[in-house]
C-alpha cells in the first residue's frame, strides 16, 4: 500500500477554530500512526476573505502544538507550491479538460441575472440552485464570447439521473440523488478556483491518501467524488469528523463569542491540555486512560475509533484536563508559566515561588490566579463571624487567645519560612493543649481576612513576611478584643 499522506488545509481566516485544530490534530496523528506524511496546504483562493498575518497564525499554532508538518509552504516539498494562490494557473487546464469531456461548461450569467434568480427562489421559499441557463449554449457562441473577453465561470455539470455513492470511514456508505446536486462553480470569474474544485485537484496532485475534515463537508463530497470519477483519478479514503457542539447542542462559533485556540491560550489553558482534550473530542482509546501526551497519541490513535456522533465541547471538562496538567508539573515549571499572572495580581514585591507552590494544587486555569491573590495586596474588612468554625472548634474567644499567644512566638522566630512558622505554631498548640485547628484557623483568617484562601495559614504568612503577618494578626486581636 502507498504511504499514507494527510493534509491540513486551512483557509487563512486569522484565527484557528477549535474544530479546525482538531482536524489538524487527527490528520497529523493519522499520518504519524501510519508512518506517513503530514502536509500543510494553505487554501487562500477566496481572495475576498484574506486576512493579514493569518498564515503566520497557522504556522505558529502548528508549532506550539507540536504538529510538525513534513511538507508545506515554509519548508517546501516535492508537490509544491503549497499555497493555492501560488498554484492559481494550474487549475484552469483541469477545468477545461472537464469541459472537453462533457463534465463541465462555461457560464456567462451576469451577477444581476443570478441575483434576480436568487430572489425568485427566495420568494418561492426554495433553496437557490443555478438553473443551467448556460448549459446548452452552442459551442460556437461559447468560443465567440470567450474570445470577446466576456467574464465567465466554469461550472461542474452534474448528472441529472441516478445516485452517487461514496464510502466514508467514519460515516459508512452515503448515497445522494444526483438530481439534488447543484452545478457548482469550479473556476470563478476572477480566474481563481473555488475551494470545491481546488481541494480535489490538489489532493490528487499532492497524492493525499486520506482526506480528513469536518463533517460539514460530507454533503459536498458526492460532488468531489464525481470530479475524481470524471478525471479517472483514484478516490482518496474519506475520513469525516463528527461535528463539535456546545452542551446545548448548538455549533461553536467565534462570532457568538466562543473561544478560539488563541483565546484559550490567552485564558491560561495549556497547549498540552487542549491537545489532549481535542484528541478525545470524537475519538476514544480502547482503555479508560484519559491523559495522553502527543507522542503517546502518535502511537495509539486509530481511525476505527473515531465516532460519528456529535462531540460535545465541554469547558468544564477542559478545565479538569488543564488542572490535571497543572498538578503534574514541577513547582518550578508551574512558577514559570504562572509568573505573569502572579505578577499581574500583586501590587507589591512578594516572593512568587511560595505563591506558585501554594496555588498550584488549586488552580485549574491560569486566569483564575488574579482572583485568588487580591488579599496579599491589602487586608479587607472582614466579618468576625468567620473566626467561628464548628469543626475546628473555634469562635472569637478561642481565636483571640490563640492569636495573642502566637504573636510573641512569631516575633521571636529566628528564621521566617514555612517550616519554622509551622513548627513554632505546632509547639504552641501542644503547649496550650489545644487542637491544631484552634491555632491555624484563626491565624489563617487573621492574615487573609477571608473564609476561602488559596493556601493555609503558614503558607500565607510565609509569603506576607513577618512584619505584615504580625500587623494583620494584631488587627485581628484588636477587633476580636472589642467583641469578646
Ligand atoms: N479550507 C478548508 C477549511 O478551512 C479545508 C477543508 C478540508 O480540509 O478539505 O475548512
Among 370, 279, 362, 360, smallest CA distance to 318 is for 279
Give the distance (Å) from ligand 1 centre to CA of residue 25: 14
**Element counts in the chain: helices (H) and strands (E):** 19, 11
What atom of ligand 1 comes closest to residue 8's alpha carbon?
A: 8
Q: What angle do CA 299, 302, 306 make, to 5 degrees?
A: 140
5-8/37-40 β-pairing: parallel
**Ligand 1 atom 2: the closest Cα is on which residue?**
10
Give the distance (Å) from ligand 1 centre to CA of residue 168: 17
Q: What is the pLDDT of residues 111-169, one digit of tens each?
A: 999 999 999 999 999 888 999 999 999 999 999 999 999 999 999 999 999 999 999 99
> What percentage of the chain carries pLDDT values higher than 70?
99
User: What per-residue confidence (pLDDT) applies to 50?
Assistant: 65
Residue 29: pLDDT above 80? yes
- Which of 5, 199, 220 to probe ligand 1 with, by most ligand atoms within 8 A of CB? 199
Residue with cell 468544564: 316
Average pLDDT of the segment spanning 231-239: 98
The Cα 432–Cα 424 span in angstroms is 12
Q: Over the range 233-269, which residues count as b (16 or more CB within 10 Å of their CB) and which as e?
A: eebbbbbbbbbbeeeeeeebeeeeebbbbeebbeebb
344 is catalytic: no
Give the distance (Å) from ligand 1 centre to CA of residue 225: 16
Per the CB < 8 A criterion, the answer to whether 61 and 28 are in contact is: no
User: What per-residue confidence (pLDDT) applies to 1?
Assistant: 60
The Cα 2–Cα 97 span in angstroms is 27
What's the fold here for domain 379-481? Answer: Arc Repressor Mutant, subunit A (1.10.10)
The Cα 69–Cα 72 span in angstroms is 7
- Provide the β-strand partners of residue 244: 311
User: What per-residue confidence (pLDDT) applies to 177?
Assistant: 95
User: What per-residue confidence (pLDDT) applies to 15?
Assistant: 87
User: What per-residue confidence (pLDDT) applies to 166?
Assistant: 96
Average pLDDT of the segment spanning 20-46: 96
- Which stretch of DSSP H or E encloses residue 53? none
What's the fold here for domain 255-328? Answer: 1.10.1160
**Ligand 1 atom 4: the closest Cα is on which residue?**
10
Instruction: For residue 45, name the pLDDT band (cuts at 50, 70, 90).
Output: confident
**Ligand 1 atom 3: the closest Cα is on which residue?**
10
Catalogue the E-assigned strands of 153-262.
153-156, 163-168, 172-177, 185-187, 210-214, 237-241, 244-245
SS3 per-residue string spanning 55-69:
HHHHHHHHHHHCCCC
Instruction: For residue 13, name the pLDDT band (cuts at 50, 70, 90).
Output: confident
The Cα 328–Cα 9 span in angstroms is 34
The Cα 106–Cα 187 span in angstroms is 9
**Ligand 1 atom 10: the closest Cα is on which residue?**
10
Report helix, strand or coil for 71.
Answer: strand
Residue with cell 478545565: 319
When the pLDDT of each residue in the chain is averaged and rounded to a whole number, the result is 95
Instruction: For residue 258, name the pLDDT band (cuts at 50, 70, 90).
Output: confident
- Provide the β-strand partners of residue 90: none
The Cα 457–Cα 38 span in angstroms is 53
What atom of ligand 1 comes closest to residue 7's alpha carbon?
A: 8
Q: What is the pLDDT of residues 178-194, one digit of tens each?
A: 999 999 999 999 999 99
Q: What is the pLDDT of residues 63-92, one digit of tens each?
A: 999 999 999 999 999 999 999 999 999 999
Give the distance (Å) from ligand 1 centre to CA of residue 41: 10
**Ligand 1 atom 8: the closest Cα is on which residue?**
213
Q: What is the pLDDT of residues 441-457, one digit of tens each?
A: 999 999 999 999 999 99
Give the distance (Å) from ligand 1 centre to CA of residue 121: 28
Give the distance (Å) from ligand 1 centre to CA of residue 241: 12
CATH no., domain 86-241: 3.40.50.620
**Residues in the chain, total:** 484
Q: What is the pLDDT of residues 302-357, one digit of tens each?
A: 999 999 999 999 999 999 999 999 999 999 999 999 999 999 999 999 999 999 99
Which residue among 254, 308, 317, 404 is the active-site one? 254
Per the CB < 8 A criterion, the answer to whether 239 and 303 are in contact is: yes
Instruction: For residue 49, name the pLDDT band (cuts at 50, 70, 90).
Output: low
- Which of 7, 195, 198 to probe ligand 1 with, by most ligand atoms within 8 A of CB? 195
What atom of ligand 1 comes closest to residue 213's alpha carbon?
A: 8
Average pLDDT of the segment spanning 237-243: 97
What atom of ligand 1 comes closest to residue 13's alpha carbon?
A: 4
Residue 253: pLDDT above 90? no
CA dist 379 to 85, 296, 471, 472, 476, Å? 60, 47, 10, 8, 11
Residues with CB under 6 A from ligand 1: 9-11, 43, 195, 199, 213, 217
Report helix, strand or coil for 270.
Answer: coil
**Cell numbers at 402, concatenated:** 490563640
What atom of ligand 1 comes closest to residue 23's alpha carbon?
A: 8
Amino acid at each position: 500500500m502507498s504511504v499514507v499522506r494527510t493534509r491540513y488545509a486551512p483557509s487563512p481566516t486569522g484565527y484557528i477554530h477549535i474544530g479546525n485544530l482538531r482536524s489538524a490534530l487527527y490528520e497529523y496523528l493519522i499520518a504519524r500512526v501510519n508512518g506517513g506524511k503530514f502536509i500543510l496546504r494553505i487554501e487562500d483562493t477566496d481572495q475576498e476573505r484574506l486576512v493579514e498575518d493569518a498564515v503566520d497564525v497557522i504556522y505558529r499554532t502548528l508549532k506550539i502544538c507540536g504538529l510538525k508538518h513534513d511538507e508545506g509552504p515554509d519548508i517546501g516539498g516535492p508537490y509544491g507550491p503549497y499555497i493555492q494562490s501560488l498554484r492559481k494557473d494550474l487549475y484552469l487546464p483541469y477545468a477545461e479538460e472537464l469541459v472537453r469531456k462533457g463534465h463541465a461548461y462555461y457560464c456567462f450569467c451576469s451577477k444581476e441575472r443570478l441575483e434576480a434568480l436568487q430572489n425568485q427562489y427566495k420568494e418561492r421559499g426554495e433553496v437557490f440552485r443555478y438553473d443551467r441557463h448556460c448549459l446548452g449554449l452552442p459551442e460556437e457562441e461559447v468560443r465567440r464570447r470567450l474570445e470577446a473577453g466576456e467574464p465567465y465561470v466554469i461550472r461542474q455539470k452534474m448528472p441529472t439521473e441516478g445516485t452517487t455513492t461514496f464510502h466514508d470511514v467514519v460515516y459508512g456508505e452515503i448515497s445522494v440523488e444526483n438530481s439534488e446536486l447543484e452545478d457548482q462553480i469550479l473556476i470563478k470569474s476572477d480566474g481563481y478556483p473555488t475551494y470545491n474544485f481546488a481541494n480535489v485537484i490538489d489532493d490528487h496532485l499532492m497524492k493525499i491518501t486520506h482526506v480528513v475534515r469536518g463533517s460539514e463537508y460530507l454533503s459536498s463530497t458526492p460532488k468531489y467524488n464525481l470530479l475524481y470519477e470524471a478525471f479517472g483519478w483514484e478516490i482518496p479514503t474519506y475520513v469525516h469528523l463528527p461535528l463539535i457542539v456546545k452542551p446545548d447542542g448548538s455549533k461553536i462559533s467565534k462570532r457568538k463569542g466562543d473561544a478560539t485556540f488563541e483565546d484559550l491560550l490567552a485564558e491560561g489553558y495549556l497547549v498540552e491540555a487542549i491537545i489532549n482534550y481535542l484528541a478525545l473530542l470524537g475519538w476514544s482509546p480502547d482503555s479508560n486512560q484519559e491523559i495522553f501526551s502527543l507522542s503517546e497519541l502518535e502511537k495509539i490513535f486509530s481511525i476505527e475509533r473515531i465516532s460519528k456522533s456529535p462531540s460535545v465541547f465541554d469547558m468544564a471538562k477542559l478545565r479538569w484536563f488543564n488542572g490535571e496538567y497543572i498538578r503534574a508539573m514541577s513547582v518550578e515549571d508551574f512558577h514559570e508559566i504562572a509568573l505573569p499572572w502572579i505578577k499581574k495580581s500583586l501590587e507589591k514585591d512578594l516572593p512568587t515561588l511560595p505563591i506558585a507552590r501554594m496555588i498550584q494544587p488549586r488552580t485549574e486555569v491560569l486566569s483564575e490566579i488574579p482572583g485568588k491573590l487580591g488579599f496579599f495586596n491589602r487586608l479587607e474588612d472582614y466579618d468576625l463571624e468567620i473566626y467561628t468554625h464548628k469543626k475546628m472548634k473555634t469562635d472569637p474567644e478561642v481565636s483571640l487567645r490563640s492569636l495573642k499567644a502566637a504573636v510573641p512566638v512569631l516575633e521571636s522566630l529566628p528564621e521566617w519560612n514555612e517550616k519554622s512558622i509551622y513548627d513554632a505554631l505546632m509547639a504552641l498548640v501542644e503547649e496550650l493543649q489545644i487542637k491544631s485547628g484552634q491555632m491555624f484557623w484563626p491565624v489563617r483568617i487573621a492574615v487573609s481576612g477571608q473564609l476561602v484562601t488559596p493556601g493555609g495559614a503558614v503558607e500565607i504568612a510565609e509569603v506576607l513576611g513577618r512584619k505584615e503577618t504580625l500587623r494583620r494578626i494584631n488587627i485581628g486581636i484588636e477587633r476580636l478584643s472589642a467583641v469578646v
